Chain A
Amino acid sequence: MRFLKVVAIVFLKDFQEELRRKEDVAASSLFALLSLVLFAFALDPTRVDLNETGSGLLWLVVLFAGSLFMGGSFRKETENGTLFALLLSPCDRGALYVGKFLLNFVFLLALEALLLLFAFLLLDFRVLNGLSALALVWVLVTFGYAAVGTLFSALLAQVRGGHVIFPILLFPILVPLVIAAATLTEQALSPGFSWGNQWLRLVGLFDILFFTASVFLFEFAVEE
Protein backbone atom coordinates (compact mmCIF):
# COMPACT_ATOMS: atom_id res chain seq x y z
CA MET A 1 0.00 0.00 0.00
CA ARG A 2 2.78 2.38 0.97
CA PHE A 3 4.57 1.51 -2.26
CA LEU A 4 1.54 2.52 -4.33
CA LYS A 5 1.17 5.71 -2.33
CA VAL A 6 4.75 6.75 -3.13
CA VAL A 7 4.18 5.89 -6.79
CA ALA A 8 1.07 8.10 -6.82
CA ILE A 9 2.82 10.98 -5.07
CA VAL A 10 5.81 10.94 -7.45
CA PHE A 11 3.52 10.66 -10.45
CA LEU A 12 1.20 13.49 -9.38
CA LYS A 13 4.11 15.75 -8.46
CA ASP A 14 5.70 15.30 -11.88
CA PHE A 15 2.39 15.51 -13.68
CA GLN A 16 1.63 18.84 -12.05
CA GLU A 17 5.12 20.11 -12.74
CA GLU A 18 4.93 19.19 -16.42
CA LEU A 19 1.56 20.89 -16.78
CA ARG A 20 2.87 24.03 -15.15
CA ARG A 21 6.19 24.26 -16.92
CA LYS A 22 4.85 23.02 -20.26
CA GLU A 23 8.38 23.21 -21.73
CA ASP A 24 9.05 19.54 -22.37
CA VAL A 25 5.49 18.67 -23.32
CA ALA A 26 5.40 21.47 -25.86
CA ALA A 27 8.89 20.82 -27.21
CA SER A 28 8.44 17.10 -27.80
CA SER A 29 4.90 17.39 -29.25
CA LEU A 30 6.07 20.05 -31.70
CA PHE A 31 9.12 18.01 -32.55
CA ALA A 32 6.90 15.00 -33.28
CA LEU A 33 4.61 17.01 -35.55
CA LEU A 34 7.59 18.59 -37.29
CA SER A 35 9.22 15.22 -37.99
CA LEU A 36 5.95 13.92 -39.39
CA VAL A 37 5.80 16.85 -41.80
CA LEU A 38 9.44 16.37 -42.78
CA PHE A 39 8.84 12.68 -43.47
CA ALA A 40 5.96 13.68 -45.72
CA PHE A 41 8.30 15.93 -47.70
CA ALA A 42 10.99 13.26 -47.85
CA LEU A 43 8.57 10.65 -49.20
CA ASP A 44 6.09 12.73 -51.20
CA PRO A 45 2.67 11.35 -50.13
CA THR A 46 1.13 12.21 -53.51
CA ARG A 47 3.11 9.36 -55.01
CA VAL A 48 3.93 7.02 -52.10
CA ASP A 49 1.12 5.33 -50.17
CA LEU A 50 2.03 5.87 -46.54
CA ASN A 51 -0.30 3.10 -45.41
CA GLU A 52 2.27 0.67 -46.75
CA THR A 53 5.45 2.25 -45.44
CA GLY A 54 4.18 4.65 -42.83
CA SER A 55 3.91 2.51 -39.69
CA GLY A 56 7.68 2.21 -39.28
CA LEU A 57 8.12 5.95 -39.85
CA LEU A 58 5.49 6.77 -37.23
CA TRP A 59 7.41 4.69 -34.74
CA LEU A 60 10.62 6.50 -35.56
CA VAL A 61 8.85 9.76 -34.76
CA VAL A 62 7.64 8.30 -31.45
CA LEU A 63 11.18 7.13 -30.67
CA PHE A 64 12.82 10.50 -31.37
CA ALA A 65 10.19 12.68 -29.73
CA GLY A 66 9.84 10.27 -26.82
CA SER A 67 13.57 10.26 -26.12
CA LEU A 68 13.51 14.05 -26.11
CA PHE A 69 10.89 13.94 -23.37
CA MET A 70 12.15 11.01 -21.33
CA GLY A 71 15.77 12.13 -21.37
CA GLY A 72 14.77 14.99 -19.12
CA SER A 73 12.71 13.10 -16.59
CA PHE A 74 15.55 12.72 -14.12
CA ARG A 75 17.80 15.51 -15.37
CA LYS A 76 15.27 18.05 -14.11
CA GLU A 77 15.68 16.60 -10.62
CA THR A 78 19.47 16.86 -10.86
CA GLU A 79 19.33 20.42 -12.14
CA ASN A 80 17.03 21.50 -9.35
CA GLY A 81 19.07 19.60 -6.80
CA THR A 82 15.98 17.63 -5.80
CA LEU A 83 17.26 14.18 -6.77
CA PHE A 84 19.23 14.13 -3.56
CA ALA A 85 16.10 14.84 -1.53
CA LEU A 86 14.11 12.23 -3.45
CA LEU A 87 16.72 9.56 -2.78
CA LEU A 88 17.04 10.54 0.87
CA SER A 89 13.31 10.22 1.50
CA PRO A 90 12.55 7.08 3.50
CA CYS A 91 10.70 5.14 0.84
CA ASP A 92 11.23 2.23 -1.50
CA ARG A 93 13.38 3.37 -4.41
CA GLY A 94 11.51 1.05 -6.74
CA ALA A 95 8.45 3.22 -6.12
CA LEU A 96 10.35 6.31 -7.31
CA TYR A 97 11.15 4.48 -10.52
CA VAL A 98 7.56 3.32 -11.04
CA GLY A 99 6.22 6.84 -10.45
CA LYS A 100 8.58 8.33 -13.01
CA PHE A 101 7.87 5.48 -15.39
CA LEU A 102 4.13 6.07 -15.11
CA LEU A 103 4.47 9.72 -16.08
CA ASN A 104 6.60 8.86 -19.12
CA PHE A 105 4.16 6.11 -20.10
CA VAL A 106 1.11 8.37 -19.87
CA PHE A 107 2.84 11.21 -21.68
CA LEU A 108 4.05 8.97 -24.52
CA LEU A 109 0.53 7.61 -24.98
CA ALA A 110 -0.84 11.15 -25.24
CA LEU A 111 1.89 12.05 -27.72
CA GLU A 112 1.09 8.98 -29.81
CA ALA A 113 -2.62 9.78 -29.85
CA LEU A 114 -1.78 13.24 -31.15
CA LEU A 115 0.61 11.80 -33.72
CA LEU A 116 -1.93 9.27 -35.00
CA LEU A 117 -4.53 12.02 -35.28
CA PHE A 118 -2.20 14.08 -37.44
CA ALA A 119 -1.16 11.03 -39.48
CA PHE A 120 -4.87 10.40 -40.08
CA LEU A 121 -5.61 14.00 -41.05
CA LEU A 122 -2.48 14.89 -43.01
CA LEU A 123 -1.27 11.62 -44.49
CA ASP A 124 -4.51 9.71 -44.87
CA PHE A 125 -3.17 7.01 -42.55
CA ARG A 126 -6.11 4.60 -42.19
CA VAL A 127 -6.19 4.45 -38.41
CA LEU A 128 -9.88 3.56 -38.27
CA ASN A 129 -9.36 0.15 -39.92
CA GLY A 130 -8.48 -1.50 -36.63
CA LEU A 131 -8.59 0.99 -33.83
CA SER A 132 -8.82 -1.47 -30.93
CA ALA A 133 -6.00 -3.68 -32.20
CA LEU A 134 -3.92 -0.59 -32.89
CA ALA A 135 -4.53 0.75 -29.38
CA LEU A 136 -3.48 -2.53 -27.78
CA VAL A 137 -0.30 -2.75 -29.85
CA TRP A 138 0.73 0.84 -29.19
CA VAL A 139 0.04 0.58 -25.45
CA LEU A 140 2.10 -2.63 -25.16
CA VAL A 141 5.05 -1.31 -27.14
CA THR A 142 5.00 2.03 -25.34
CA PHE A 143 5.11 0.24 -22.00
CA GLY A 144 8.42 -1.42 -22.88
CA TYR A 145 9.80 1.77 -24.37
CA ALA A 146 8.96 3.79 -21.26
CA ALA A 147 10.36 1.08 -18.96
CA VAL A 148 13.84 1.07 -20.53
CA GLY A 149 13.76 4.81 -21.23
CA THR A 150 13.01 5.71 -17.62
CA LEU A 151 15.82 3.50 -16.33
CA PHE A 152 18.39 4.97 -18.73
CA SER A 153 17.18 8.48 -18.02
CA ALA A 154 17.82 7.87 -14.32
CA LEU A 155 21.26 6.40 -15.01
CA LEU A 156 22.39 9.20 -17.27
CA ALA A 157 20.96 12.10 -15.28
CA GLN A 158 24.20 12.60 -13.41
CA VAL A 159 26.65 11.83 -16.21
CA ARG A 160 28.31 14.63 -18.12
CA GLY A 161 26.79 14.75 -21.61
CA GLY A 162 24.05 12.35 -20.57
CA HIS A 163 21.53 13.90 -22.94
CA VAL A 164 23.85 13.13 -25.87
CA ILE A 165 24.42 9.50 -24.90
CA PHE A 166 20.78 8.80 -23.95
CA PRO A 167 19.34 8.06 -27.42
CA ILE A 168 22.54 6.37 -28.64
CA LEU A 169 22.46 4.00 -25.68
CA LEU A 170 18.71 3.48 -25.75
CA PHE A 171 17.92 2.82 -29.41
CA PRO A 172 20.03 -0.32 -30.03
CA ILE A 173 18.40 -1.93 -26.99
CA LEU A 174 14.99 -1.10 -28.48
CA VAL A 175 15.63 -2.72 -31.86
CA PRO A 176 13.37 -5.76 -31.19
CA LEU A 177 10.62 -3.43 -29.99
CA VAL A 178 10.89 -1.26 -33.11
CA ILE A 179 10.71 -4.21 -35.49
CA ALA A 180 7.73 -5.60 -33.59
CA ALA A 181 6.02 -2.22 -33.46
CA ALA A 182 6.32 -1.58 -37.18
CA THR A 183 5.16 -5.09 -38.09
CA LEU A 184 2.30 -5.13 -35.59
CA THR A 185 1.03 -1.69 -36.59
CA GLU A 186 0.84 -2.82 -40.18
CA GLN A 187 -0.93 -6.04 -39.17
CA ALA A 188 -3.37 -4.26 -36.85
CA LEU A 189 -4.61 -2.14 -39.72
CA SER A 190 -5.09 -5.02 -42.11
CA PRO A 191 -7.83 -7.66 -41.80
CA GLY A 192 -7.09 -10.94 -40.05
CA PHE A 193 -5.14 -9.60 -37.09
CA SER A 194 -4.62 -12.41 -34.61
CA TRP A 195 -4.28 -11.83 -30.86
CA GLY A 196 -1.99 -14.84 -30.37
CA ASN A 197 0.56 -13.26 -32.67
CA GLN A 198 4.23 -14.22 -32.10
CA TRP A 199 5.20 -10.52 -32.22
CA LEU A 200 2.73 -9.67 -29.47
CA ARG A 201 4.28 -12.39 -27.33
CA LEU A 202 7.74 -10.97 -28.01
CA VAL A 203 6.61 -7.49 -26.97
CA GLY A 204 4.97 -8.96 -23.85
CA LEU A 205 8.20 -10.72 -22.94
CA PHE A 206 10.20 -7.54 -23.49
CA ASP A 207 7.79 -5.53 -21.31
CA ILE A 208 7.80 -7.95 -18.39
CA LEU A 209 11.54 -8.64 -18.51
CA PHE A 210 12.72 -5.05 -18.72
CA PHE A 211 10.14 -3.60 -16.35
CA THR A 212 11.05 -6.02 -13.55
CA ALA A 213 14.76 -5.73 -14.31
CA SER A 214 14.51 -1.93 -14.21
CA VAL A 215 12.71 -1.81 -10.85
CA PHE A 216 15.41 -4.08 -9.49
CA LEU A 217 18.44 -2.42 -11.11
CA PHE A 218 17.27 1.10 -10.29
CA GLU A 219 17.85 0.52 -6.59
CA PHE A 220 21.42 -0.58 -7.22
CA ALA A 221 22.45 2.00 -9.73
CA VAL A 222 21.12 5.34 -8.55
CA GLU A 223 23.22 6.94 -5.85
CA GLU A 224 23.20 10.19 -4.01
Chain B
Amino acid sequence: MPLRRWSILLWSLALAANAASLYMVFSYAPVEVQMGAVQKIFYYHVPSAIVCYVLLFLAFLFSALYLWREEALYDHLAHSAAEVGWVFITLVLVTGPIWGHSAWGKWWVWEPRLTSFLILWLTYSAYFLLRLFSRGDARAAKIAAVVAIVAFFDVPIVHKAISWWGSIVHPRKVVLEPAMRWTFFVGLVAVFLLAAALYLTRFGIQRAEAARVEREEWP
Protein backbone atom coordinates (compact mmCIF):
# COMPACT_ATOMS: atom_id res chain seq x y z
CA MET B 1 0.00 0.00 0.00
CA PRO B 2 1.96 2.99 -1.21
CA LEU B 3 -0.42 5.51 0.39
CA ARG B 4 0.11 3.90 3.80
CA ARG B 5 3.87 3.95 3.39
CA TRP B 6 3.82 7.61 2.38
CA SER B 7 1.65 8.34 5.35
CA ILE B 8 4.07 6.68 7.81
CA LEU B 9 7.00 8.53 6.25
CA LEU B 10 5.26 11.91 6.38
CA TRP B 11 4.06 11.45 9.94
CA SER B 12 7.56 10.54 11.17
CA LEU B 13 9.04 13.52 9.39
CA ALA B 14 6.33 15.79 10.79
CA LEU B 15 6.86 14.54 14.33
CA ALA B 16 10.66 14.99 14.09
CA ALA B 17 10.33 18.48 12.58
CA ASN B 18 7.83 19.54 15.23
CA ALA B 19 10.04 18.25 18.02
CA ALA B 20 12.97 20.20 16.57
CA SER B 21 10.78 23.27 16.10
CA LEU B 22 9.46 23.18 19.67
CA TYR B 23 12.97 22.78 21.02
CA MET B 24 14.16 25.77 18.98
CA VAL B 25 11.17 27.90 19.97
CA PHE B 26 11.72 27.38 23.68
CA SER B 27 15.50 26.96 24.02
CA TYR B 28 17.23 28.42 20.96
CA ALA B 29 15.27 31.53 19.96
CA PRO B 30 15.86 34.51 22.24
CA VAL B 31 13.00 36.09 24.19
CA GLU B 32 11.70 39.19 22.45
CA VAL B 33 12.38 42.37 24.41
CA GLN B 34 9.05 44.15 24.10
CA MET B 35 6.49 41.35 24.11
CA GLY B 36 8.34 38.73 26.12
CA ALA B 37 7.60 35.02 25.91
CA VAL B 38 4.23 35.52 24.20
CA GLN B 39 6.02 36.49 21.00
CA LYS B 40 7.02 32.82 20.64
CA ILE B 41 3.50 32.01 19.48
CA PHE B 42 4.49 33.78 16.26
CA TYR B 43 6.51 30.68 15.22
CA TYR B 44 3.26 28.72 14.92
CA HIS B 45 0.79 31.53 14.17
CA VAL B 46 2.37 32.79 10.95
CA PRO B 47 3.21 29.35 9.44
CA SER B 48 -0.37 28.22 10.15
CA ALA B 49 -1.67 31.24 8.22
CA ILE B 50 0.62 30.51 5.27
CA VAL B 51 -0.24 26.80 5.24
CA CYS B 52 -3.96 27.48 5.36
CA TYR B 53 -3.74 29.71 2.26
CA VAL B 54 -1.90 26.91 0.44
CA LEU B 55 -4.56 24.37 1.44
CA LEU B 56 -7.45 26.63 0.45
CA PHE B 57 -5.77 27.14 -2.91
CA LEU B 58 -5.57 23.34 -3.29
CA ALA B 59 -9.27 23.08 -2.39
CA PHE B 60 -10.03 25.64 -5.11
CA LEU B 61 -7.81 23.93 -7.67
CA PHE B 62 -9.22 20.43 -7.11
CA SER B 63 -12.79 21.78 -7.05
CA ALA B 64 -12.24 23.35 -10.46
CA LEU B 65 -10.69 20.11 -11.71
CA TYR B 66 -13.65 18.17 -10.35
CA LEU B 67 -16.16 20.35 -12.21
CA TRP B 68 -14.14 19.89 -15.35
CA ARG B 69 -13.29 16.16 -15.24
CA GLU B 70 -15.98 14.84 -12.87
CA GLU B 71 -13.69 12.28 -11.26
CA ALA B 72 -14.42 11.46 -7.61
CA LEU B 73 -10.70 11.58 -6.84
CA TYR B 74 -10.66 15.37 -7.28
CA ASP B 75 -13.66 15.77 -5.02
CA HIS B 76 -11.92 13.83 -2.25
CA LEU B 77 -8.74 15.88 -2.71
CA ALA B 78 -10.72 19.16 -2.57
CA HIS B 79 -12.80 18.12 0.43
CA SER B 80 -9.75 16.98 2.43
CA ALA B 81 -7.82 20.15 1.58
CA ALA B 82 -10.70 22.33 2.76
CA GLU B 83 -11.00 20.33 5.98
CA VAL B 84 -7.32 20.48 6.89
CA GLY B 85 -7.29 24.15 5.80
CA TRP B 86 -10.15 24.82 8.17
CA VAL B 87 -8.16 23.27 11.05
CA PHE B 88 -5.32 25.71 10.36
CA ILE B 89 -7.69 28.70 10.10
CA THR B 90 -8.89 27.66 13.55
CA LEU B 91 -5.30 27.52 14.78
CA VAL B 92 -4.68 31.05 13.49
CA LEU B 93 -7.85 32.23 15.22
CA VAL B 94 -6.83 30.62 18.50
CA THR B 95 -3.19 31.74 18.52
CA GLY B 96 -3.96 35.28 17.27
CA PRO B 97 -6.01 36.40 20.28
CA ILE B 98 -3.48 34.89 22.73
CA TRP B 99 -0.90 37.19 21.20
CA GLY B 100 -3.41 40.00 20.95
CA HIS B 101 -4.26 39.75 24.61
CA SER B 102 -0.74 40.64 25.63
CA ALA B 103 -0.12 43.12 22.79
CA TRP B 104 -3.41 45.03 22.92
CA GLY B 105 -4.82 44.04 26.31
CA LYS B 106 -7.95 42.55 24.76
CA TRP B 107 -8.75 39.07 23.54
CA TRP B 108 -10.26 40.29 20.33
CA VAL B 109 -9.49 43.43 18.37
CA TRP B 110 -11.19 44.00 15.02
CA GLU B 111 -7.84 43.97 13.34
CA PRO B 112 -8.03 43.49 9.53
CA ARG B 113 -6.06 40.31 9.05
CA LEU B 114 -7.50 38.53 12.05
CA THR B 115 -11.01 39.63 11.08
CA SER B 116 -10.62 38.32 7.55
CA PHE B 117 -9.57 34.97 9.01
CA LEU B 118 -12.76 34.98 11.05
CA ILE B 119 -14.79 35.52 7.88
CA LEU B 120 -12.77 32.78 6.19
CA TRP B 121 -13.58 30.46 9.09
CA LEU B 122 -17.29 31.24 8.79
CA THR B 123 -17.23 30.71 5.02
CA TYR B 124 -15.60 27.30 5.18
CA SER B 125 -17.69 26.27 8.18
CA ALA B 126 -20.74 26.89 5.99
CA TYR B 127 -19.09 24.74 3.32
CA PHE B 128 -18.95 21.83 5.79
CA LEU B 129 -22.52 22.52 6.84
CA LEU B 130 -23.46 22.02 3.21
CA ARG B 131 -21.49 18.77 3.10
CA LEU B 132 -23.19 17.66 6.32
CA PHE B 133 -26.70 18.33 5.04
CA SER B 134 -26.11 16.72 1.68
CA ARG B 135 -24.44 13.52 2.86
CA GLY B 136 -25.19 10.67 0.51
CA ASP B 137 -26.42 13.04 -2.19
CA ALA B 138 -24.55 12.53 -5.44
CA ARG B 139 -25.11 16.15 -6.51
CA ALA B 140 -23.51 17.49 -3.35
CA ALA B 141 -19.95 17.22 -4.62
CA LYS B 142 -20.61 19.56 -7.54
CA ILE B 143 -22.42 22.08 -5.39
CA ALA B 144 -19.61 22.05 -2.84
CA ALA B 145 -17.08 22.51 -5.65
CA VAL B 146 -18.85 25.67 -6.86
CA VAL B 147 -18.99 27.02 -3.31
CA ALA B 148 -15.26 26.38 -2.82
CA ILE B 149 -14.47 28.25 -6.05
CA VAL B 150 -16.66 31.24 -5.16
CA ALA B 151 -15.24 31.31 -1.63
CA PHE B 152 -11.69 31.32 -2.94
CA PHE B 153 -12.37 34.26 -5.29
CA ASP B 154 -13.86 36.08 -2.34
CA VAL B 155 -10.75 35.82 -0.13
CA PRO B 156 -8.77 38.79 -1.58
CA ILE B 157 -11.90 40.98 -1.78
CA VAL B 158 -12.80 40.24 1.83
CA HIS B 159 -9.26 41.05 2.84
CA LYS B 160 -9.23 44.35 0.92
CA ALA B 161 -12.61 45.45 2.26
CA ILE B 162 -11.74 44.64 5.86
CA SER B 163 -8.37 46.35 5.70
CA TRP B 164 -10.04 49.56 4.46
CA TRP B 165 -12.68 49.22 7.13
CA GLY B 166 -10.37 48.55 10.08
CA SER B 167 -7.72 50.93 11.22
CA ILE B 168 -5.25 48.96 13.34
CA VAL B 169 -2.67 47.08 11.29
CA HIS B 170 -0.40 44.11 11.63
CA PRO B 171 3.30 44.88 11.60
CA ARG B 172 3.95 45.09 7.85
CA LYS B 173 7.56 44.09 7.97
CA VAL B 174 9.04 42.11 10.76
CA VAL B 175 12.78 42.29 11.26
CA LEU B 176 14.03 39.04 12.75
CA GLU B 177 17.46 38.41 14.13
CA PRO B 178 19.22 35.25 12.76
CA ALA B 179 18.31 32.89 15.64
CA MET B 180 14.66 33.94 15.31
CA ARG B 181 14.77 33.58 11.55
CA TRP B 182 16.08 30.01 11.77
CA THR B 183 13.45 29.12 14.33
CA PHE B 184 10.79 30.56 12.07
CA PHE B 185 11.96 28.54 9.04
CA VAL B 186 12.09 25.31 11.00
CA GLY B 187 8.62 26.11 12.35
CA LEU B 188 7.38 26.70 8.81
CA VAL B 189 8.76 23.34 7.64
CA ALA B 190 7.28 21.61 10.70
CA VAL B 191 3.81 23.06 10.13
CA PHE B 192 3.97 22.25 6.40
CA LEU B 193 4.91 18.63 7.12
CA LEU B 194 2.17 18.35 9.73
CA ALA B 195 -0.36 19.72 7.25
CA ALA B 196 0.84 17.34 4.54
CA ALA B 197 0.58 14.35 6.90
CA LEU B 198 -2.91 15.37 8.01
CA TYR B 199 -3.95 15.93 4.40
CA LEU B 200 -2.75 12.52 3.28
CA THR B 201 -4.41 10.76 6.20
CA ARG B 202 -7.70 12.60 5.66
CA PHE B 203 -7.58 11.81 1.97
CA GLY B 204 -7.03 8.12 2.76
CA ILE B 205 -10.09 8.08 5.04
CA GLN B 206 -12.13 9.93 2.43
CA ARG B 207 -11.20 7.36 -0.22
CA ALA B 208 -11.87 4.41 2.07
CA GLU B 209 -15.31 5.79 2.96
CA ALA B 210 -16.19 6.27 -0.70
CA ALA B 211 -15.07 2.71 -1.44
CA ARG B 212 -17.21 1.37 1.40
CA VAL B 213 -20.29 3.23 0.14
CA GLU B 214 -19.67 1.82 -3.32
CA ARG B 215 -19.42 -1.73 -1.95
CA GLU B 216 -22.68 -1.29 -0.08
CA GLU B 217 -24.43 -0.06 -3.19
CA TRP B 218 -23.01 -2.69 -5.53
CA PRO B 219 -22.32 -5.78 -3.42
Chain A interface residues toward B at CB < 8 A: 148, 151-152, 155-156, 158-162, 164-165, 168-169, 172-173, 175-176, 179-180, 183, 198-199, 202, 205-206, 209-210, 213, 217, 220-221, 223
Query: Residues of A contacting B158 with CB < 8 Å?
Result: 175-176
Whether A220 contacts B67 by the Cβ 8 Å rule is yes
Partner of A159, one of B67, B139, B164: B139
Partner of A213, one of B130, B142, B150, B161: B150
Whether B146 contacts A169 by the Cβ 8 Å rule is no
Whether B161 contacts A210 by the Cβ 8 Å rule is no
Query: Residues of B contacting A156 with CB < 8 Å?
Result: 130, 143
Tell me what chain B mostly uses at the interface: helix, strand, loop, or mixed. helix
Query: Residues of B contacting A223 with CB < 8 Å?
Result: 139, 142
Binds A, one of B7-15, B53-61, B119-127: B119-127
Partner of A169, one of B129, B153, B164: B129
CB nearest to A205 among chain B residues: B157
A and B contact pairs by CB, cutoff 8 A, 5 listed: A168-B129, A169-B129, A183-B165, A202-B160, A217-B150
Query: Residues of B contacting A221 with CB < 8 Å?
Result: 67, 142-143, 145-146
User: What distance in Å separates the Cβ of B57 from its nearest Cβ neighbour in chain A?
Assistant: 17
Whether A160 contacts B133 by the Cβ 8 Å rule is yes
Given the known A-B contacts A175-B161, A202-B157, A213-B149, are A159 and B143 also in contact in the complex, defined by CB atoms under 8 Å? yes
Partner of B137, one of A160, A169, A209, A220: A160
Tell me what chain A mostly uses at the interface: helix, strand, loop, or mixed. helix
CA distance A101 to B200 in the complex (A): 40
CA distance A202 to B164 in the complex (A): 11
CA distance A169 to B134 in the complex (A): 14
Query: Residues of B contacting A210 with CB < 8 Å?
Result: 150, 153
Interface: B140 (CB within 8 A): yes
Partner of B133, one of A151, A152, A164, A202: A164
Interface: B147 (CB within 8 A): yes
User: What distance in Å separates the Cβ of B168 from its nearest Cβ neighbour in chain A?
Assistant: 16
Q: Which B29-86 residues sit within 8 Å CB-CB of chain A?
A: 67
Query: What are the 9 A-B residue pairs with the smallest beta carbon separation, nearest first?
Result: A176-B161, A172-B123, A172-B122, A169-B126, A221-B146, A161-B133, A155-B143, A220-B67, A176-B157
Query: Residues of A contacting B127 with CB < 8 Å?
Result: 169
User: What distance in Å separates the Cβ of A219 from its nearest Cβ neighbour in chain B?
Assistant: 10
Query: Residues of A contacting B143 with CB < 8 Å?
Result: 155-156, 159, 221
User: What distance in Å separates the Cβ of B163 from its nearest Cβ neighbour in chain A?
Assistant: 10
